[in-house]
Structure 1
Amino acid sequence: MRTPLAALLVATLFGSSALAQTTVTGTPAAPDAKSSQQSGGQESVTRPNTDKTTPNGGTAAAHGAVQLEKGANSFTEGEARSRLEKSGFKDAKNLMKDGDGIWRGTAMHDGKQVNVGLDFKGNVSAQ
Structure 2
Amino acid sequence: MQRQLATLAFVAFLGSSAAYAQTTVTGKPAPDAETSAKSGGQESLTRPNTDKPDANNPATTHTATSANLEEGANSFTEGQTRSRLEQAGYKDVKDLKKDDKGIWRGAASLNGKPVTVGVDFKGNVAAK
Q: TM-score with structure 2 length normalisation? A: 0.62
In structure 1, distance between residues paired with 2:6 and 2:88: 57
Percentage identity across paired residues of the two chains: 42
| Residue 28 (structure 1) aligns with | 22
* Aligned ranges 1:1-127 → 2 under 5 Å: 20-21=8-9, 22-23=12-13, 24-25=16-17, 26-29=20-23, 48-50=46-48, 52=50, 54-56=53-55, 58-59=60-61, 61-127=62-128
Q: TM-score with structure 1 length normalisation? A: 0.62
Kept in 2, the 8 Å contact 1:47–1:121? The answer is: no
Where in structure 1 do 4 or more consecutive aligned residues deviate above 4 Å? Answer: 15-19
Q: Which has the larger radius of gyration?
A: 1
Residues 23-52 of structure 1: CA distance to partner in whole angstroms, max 9, x if unpaired? 222423476xxxxxxxxxxxxxx9643363
Q: Cα distance 1:106–1:18, how it changes in 2: closer, same or farther (>3 A)?
A: farther
Q: Structure 2: which 5+ residue stretches go unaligned?
A: 27-43
Paired residue total? 100
Q: Structure 1: which 5+ residue stretches go unaligned?
A: 1-11, 32-45
In structure 2, distance between residues paired with 1:64 and 1:70: 17
RMSD over equivalenced CA pairs, Å: 2.9
Q: Cα distance 1:100–1:116, how it changes in 2: closer, same or farther (>3 A)?
A: same
- Amino acid in structure 1 at the alignment position of 2:110: H
Report which of the two has the higher share of helix. Answer: 2
Q: Describe the SS at the equivalent of 1:107.
A: strand
